[in-house]
Chains A and B, each alone.
Chain A
Amino acid sequence: MRPHDILMLDAAGLFCKPGGFHIDPVRPVNRAIVTHGHSDHARPGHGAVLATPETLDIMRLRYGNDFAGSVQAISYGQEIKLGDVSIVLHPAGHVLGSAQIAVTHGGVRIVASGDYKDVCDPTCAPFEVVPCDVFITEATFGLPVFLHGDPASEVGKLLASVALFPERAHLVGAYSLGKTQRVIALLREAGYDAPIYLHGAMDKVTRYYQSRGIALGDLRPVRGMKKADLAGAVTLAPPSATTDLWTRRFPDPVRAFASGWMRVRARARQRGIELPLVISDHADWTGLTRIIAATGAGEIWVTHGQEDALVRWCMTKGLVARPLALVGYGDEDGEGDTVGFSGGESNS
């Protein structure tokens, strides 16, 4: 069995013909296996959705109860069969519930890793290396300049700024699902125990994280707060909100943004960010290359992001590599969570 007879590209994305399912399809299909809850991977309107219980919960929060014809929850490590194809989900370390999908058929194993990272994150299960023949990797940060470093020191930068500018509000742009909760957890790990304020759009999903036993401390909605009371406080908001009229409710806000893109200065300046925080939920260059090697795969398929450099690296290591021209994943900012959760705030 050749790998591309097991997984191939069609208009909806990656399709497993012998198993009759798509992985993270970008348009409605009969049966979809979804790696994680970010809106560019988890879309509504499929006949059946198979995913981890957390991913299904997150899709429900985002799209309502009838986001798919039927759903099937699969826990990490549990094997299911679709036709002759065996499927096992393994933790991807990206956000709560995120999974790599190991597809085995005719003695060939392909792992579609979705989005992943291989560093410690207290808000989700750690990445698991799954030995395979073909490894499908993302390349969001697939350039050697992307080294995310230690997130604790980035949070240290934020806290130092809060100390230097106690009369200013600190507004941290962060994606609602995953990044927000991770930044909060990192702040708590750094010993910051003051209340942290949240934009309405991230309230629901953050409460969901708390309901799954993830300790995030004292969280409060920013809505209804007096301007003066936000001085010296940390508020998290979706990236788009940190540059619009909504920010006028804050006293002289310091605009921060927690993202792997912040590693490149021009990207941060372009967005008018004053305090870039290099905190990413994707693997950096070191992570990507380390994981590719660790899977033992002889063939690498590179999906969304900076494919060229990663394909080049694979080839210099004697691996067969090809870019998969997948469209529809990751916006310009690569962390593609563009569809919010309801409960956003108006500009007025």
Chain B
Amino acid sequence: MNRFAELLDRLAYEPGRNNKLRLITAYFRDTPDPDRGYALAALTGALSFKHAKAGLVRDLIAARVDPVLFALSYDYVGDLSETAALMWPTSSLAEGAMDDHHDSSPPPTLTNVVTTLRTLGKAELPAQLARWLDELDETGRWALLKLVTGAMRIGISARLAKTAAAALGGKDVHDVELIWPGLAPPYLDLFAWLEGRGERPVNRIPAPFRPVMLAHAIDDADFARLDAADFIAEWKWDGIRVQAVSGCDEHGNIATRLYSRTGEDITHSFPDLLPSLRREGSSEGRLNDSRKPFGAFRQQTFAIDGELLVVRDGRVQSFNVLQQRLNRKAVTSRLMKEFPIHLRAYDLLEDGDNDLRELPFEDRRRRLVDFIAALDDPRIDLSPRVAFATWGELAAARADPAAAGAGADADAIEGIMLKRCDASYLPGRPKGLWWKWKRDPRIIDAVLMYAQRGHGRRSSYYSDYTFGVWTAGEEGEQLVPVGKAYFGFTDEELVRIDRFVRRNTTESFGPVRHVLHEPDRGLVLEIAFEGLQRSARHKSGVAMRFPRINRLRWDKPPREADRLETLERMLTSEAAKSTGAGA
């Protein structure tokens, strides 16, 4: 465990991709089975421990240290696991306590931890965790707590970890990704193959995930270099990007899977979509294609790239609505009825055992149109093209999707996707093939009211800001909070705001500082956001989506900041726009 902890610790600081790869590959080379396999599982997110939650960590440490000292420490460090790891009282604190080591057991290996947790009951977990924390050093304790609470966040993608494993055998990451769905921790057969000691493992997963293709954000300057005729435009729907895959195993059983863009299997969260992804008898023409053997099996093999949306009465709902369907522990029939799930298809990657990814997008799109038509299911439809001849026409469509064909669904549109007609489907974010062009965010000027320390990298800075706008109150003009922003500023701006907060604190309540906000004294923040909705939970009655700091208006006195009425007008005009277009 300590060795894995050292790796995590080092990775958490290393910014360079190649250096990260070197570190992980070196770890795989030097670490024996099965520890390295469980490490690969941890790095690719293949492990989860359902009983270990942040609350448990808090309870464990609270029982062992002075609560005041803990609060001061947590406020400073900003990370629960790290604070607990640092403060954990150990018997060998004092130097020269080496004799103790004879009595205490050796620290657990990663394999010990993973295999023990797999079978450990919830009731036994606290005592077991405490024992391990006693045995590990600080870095080990930190890594253990991060691992078991599933909060590793060390900037490693699953793909990077697989690339590092592949490098062990001089292989390409695609070779590993192809067989990955058939592998399981601790990946003994994978490492044996990579080290030339064994056969290449066979992927027996009938419905495997294919690495997803992603887009770059487009800049105004990019358009000058691009020819509108080379591109197909679609709406960028504000839902969840998914891959719907179907296939048959060697016994002819059909398997259907829904994967997130990172390859996480999310099938169980959307059981209501599964029947729509079965093609039994759905298309006469296909079933009768008996010239090929196993035609029936073959037609069950496909992979659609698309977006999950909630559609009610034929109208796509905003992300706010979709969000209510997510993050639920149980998928009840009521939930499914209230938030009917829908798949809007962007692309077809596989059709009847034919890998289409090498084809130009234009050709894949043509096949997708036929495929969706043949499927003929109300829950699955095609993402429509946005017609345009010039960039100017496209800009107009982006500015007003409702008028450009999206109608009442315009609320669920984040912007425009531009795809080169001749682009193959390539994993990752290849340059110049796919572009995303988001809608202009809404902007208002608000006043900084409260500040709180950030977490992680920013824990010594006041980096979480509550801002407000003016409204008429009982005692005249007053500021009412309308949102919180955590990002959008540069590091230098953060330093300046932090200094402003420290120098202009009027009161402190625990971690929250009240910052001076008077008509002529205070800081105006230009806030950009993606959407607005009415909210009973907020005192102001409105809630913003994705607010962020667009600019600091040191030049502007707070009295010139926007008023709540401005937001209310935005809210009404948005509502009017969508109903108007829908009529």
Q: Which of B13, B26, B82, B83 contacts A164 (CB 8 A)?
A: B26
- For B73, list chain A residues within 8 Å (CB): 143-145, 309
- For A263, list chain B residues within 8 Å (CB): 86
Interface status of A267 (Cβ within 8 A of chain B): yes
- For A313, list chain B residues within 8 Å (CB): 66, 69
Distance between A290 CB and nearest chain B CB, rounded to angstroms: 8
On whether A286 and B93 interact (CB within 8 A), knowing A145-B86, A147-B86, A264-B76, the answer reads yes
Whether B69 and A309, one on each chain, are in contact in the complex, defined by CB atoms closer than 8 angstroms, is: yes
On whether A164 and B457 interact (CB within 8 A), knowing A145-B77, A265-B79, the answer reads no
Distance between B79 CB and nearest chain A CB, rounded to angstroms: 7
- For A276, list chain B residues within 8 Å (CB): 13
Looking across the interface, which residue of chain A has its beta carbon closest to that of B68?
A312
Interface status of A275 (Cβ within 8 A of chain B): yes
Whether B12 and A144, one on each chain, are in contact in the complex, defined by CB atoms closer than 8 angstroms, is: no
Whether A309 and B72, one on each chain, are in contact in the complex, defined by CB atoms closer than 8 angstroms, is: yes
Chain A 253-289 interface residues, beta-carbon cutoff 8 Å to B: 263-270, 272-276, 286
Interface status of B576 (Cβ within 8 A of chain A): no
Interface status of A306 (Cβ within 8 A of chain B): yes
Interface status of B222 (Cβ within 8 A of chain A): no
Whether B82 and A265, one on each chain, are in contact in the complex, defined by CB atoms closer than 8 angstroms, is: yes
* Binary CB contact string for chain B from 1 to 25 against chain A (1 if under 8 A, 0 otherwise): 0000010001011110001001100
Looking across the interface, which residue of chain B has its beta carbon closest to that of A332?
B460
- For B65, list chain A residues within 8 Å (CB): 144
Interface status of A47 (Cβ within 8 A of chain B): no
Distance between B152 CB and nearest chain A CB, rounded to angstroms: 13
Distance between A289 CB and nearest chain B CB, rounded to angstroms: 10
Looking across the interface, which residue of chain A has its beta carbon closest to that of B71?
A309
- For A145, list chain B residues within 8 Å (CB): 73, 76-77, 82-83, 86-87
Looking across the interface, which residue of chain A has its beta carbon closest to that of B457?
A269
CA distance A278 to B120 in the complex (A): 35
Whether A144 and B87, one on each chain, are in contact in the complex, defined by CB atoms closer than 8 angstroms, is: yes
* Binary CB contact string for chain B from 431 to 475 against chain A (1 if under 8 A, 0 otherwise): 000000000000000000000000111111100000000000000
Whether B79 and A268, one on each chain, are in contact in the complex, defined by CB atoms closer than 8 angstroms, is: no
Whether B23 and A164, one on each chain, are in contact in the complex, defined by CB atoms closer than 8 angstroms, is: yes
Looking across the interface, which residue of chain A has its beta carbon closest to that of B142?
A265
What is the number of contacts between chain A and chain B, taking CB atoms within 8 Å?
89
Whether A266 and B13, one on each chain, are in contact in the complex, defined by CB atoms closer than 8 angstroms, is: no
Whether B94 and A266, one on each chain, are in contact in the complex, defined by CB atoms closer than 8 angstroms, is: no
Interface status of B95 (Cβ within 8 A of chain A): yes
* Binary CB contact string for chain B from 394 to 406 against chain A (1 if under 8 A, 0 otherwise): 0000000000000
Interface status of B78 (Cβ within 8 A of chain A): yes
Whether B26 and A316, one on each chain, are in contact in the complex, defined by CB atoms closer than 8 angstroms, is: no
- For A272, list chain B residues within 8 Å (CB): 15
CA distance A92 to B73 in the complex (A): 26
CA distance A164 to B25 in the complex (A): 11
CA distance A290 to B73 in the complex (A): 19
Looking across the interface, which residue of chain A has its beta carbon closest to that of B75?
A143
Q: How many residues of B contact A (CB 8 A)?
A: 37
Chain A 290-324 interface residues, beta-carbon cutoff 8 Å to B: 290, 306, 308-309, 312-313, 316
CA distance A290 to B460 in the complex (A): 27
CA distance A119 to B94 in the complex (A): 11
Chain A 61-120 interface residues, beta-carbon cutoff 8 Å to B: 119
CA distance A26 to B344 in the complex (A): 69
- For B22, list chain A residues within 8 Å (CB): 164-165
Looking across the interface, which residue of chain A has its beta carbon closest to that of B26?
A164
Q: Which of A150, A164, A273, A316 contacts B66 (CB 8 A)?
A: A316
- For B13, list chain A residues within 8 Å (CB): 265, 268-269, 273-276
Interface status of A344 (Cβ within 8 A of chain B): no
Distance between B503 CB and nearest chain A CB, rounded to angstroms: 14
- For A146, list chain B residues within 8 Å (CB): 86
Interface status of B138 (Cβ within 8 A of chain A): yes
Whether A147 and B138, one on each chain, are in contact in the complex, defined by CB atoms closer than 8 angstroms, is: yes
On whether A266 and B83 interact (CB within 8 A), knowing A143-B72, A275-B13, the answer reads no
Distance between B421 CB and nearest chain A CB, rounded to angstroms: 40
Whether A269 and B456, one on each chain, are in contact in the complex, defined by CB atoms closer than 8 angstroms, is: yes
Distance between A273 CB and nearest chain B CB, rounded to angstroms: 6
- For B10, list chain A residues within 8 Å (CB): 161, 275
Distance between B56 CB and nearest chain A CB, rounded to angstroms: 20
Q: Which of B15, B19, B82, B137 contacts A165 (CB 8 A)?
A: B19
Q: Which of A147, A266, A312 contacts B456 (CB 8 A)?
A: A266
On whether A306 and B94 interact (CB within 8 A), knowing A165-B22, A266-B458, the answer reads no
Looking across the interface, which residue of chain B has its beta carbon closest to that of A268?
B13
Whether B78 and A266, one on each chain, are in contact in the complex, defined by CB atoms closer than 8 angstroms, is: yes
On whether A119 and B87 interact (CB within 8 A), knowing A145-B76, A268-B13, A269-B457, the answer reads no
Distance between A5 CB and nearest chain B CB, rounded to angstroms: 32
Interface status of A328 (Cβ within 8 A of chain B): no
- For A286, list chain B residues within 8 Å (CB): 93-94
- For B87, list chain A residues within 8 Å (CB): 144-145
Interface status of A149 (Cβ within 8 A of chain B): yes
CA distance A309 to B66 in the complex (A): 10
- For B78, list chain A residues within 8 Å (CB): 266
Known: A149-B138, A265-B12, A267-B460. 11 other contacts (CB 8 A): A145-B87, A147-B93, A165-B22, A265-B79, A266-B458, A270-B457, A274-B14, A286-B93, A290-B94, A312-B66, A313-B69
By a beta-carbon cutoff of 8 Å, the part of chain A in contact with chain B is 119, 143-147, 149-150, 157, 161, 164-165, 263-270, 272-276, 286, 290, 306, 308-309, 312-313, 316
By a beta-carbon cutoff of 8 Å, the part of chain B in contact with chain A is 6, 10, 12-15, 19, 22-23, 26, 65-66, 68-70, 72-73, 76-79, 82-83, 86-87, 93-95, 137-138, 455-461
20 A-B pairs whose Cβ atoms sit less than 8 Å apart in the complex:
A119-B95, A144-B65, A144-B70, A144-B73, A145-B83, A157-B6, A161-B10, A164-B23, A165-B22, A263-B86, A266-B455, A266-B457, A266-B458, A266-B460, A269-B13, A273-B13, A275-B13, A286-B93, A306-B76, A312-B68
The 5 closest A-B CB pairs, nearest first, are: A145-B86, A266-B459, A269-B457, A145-B73, A309-B72
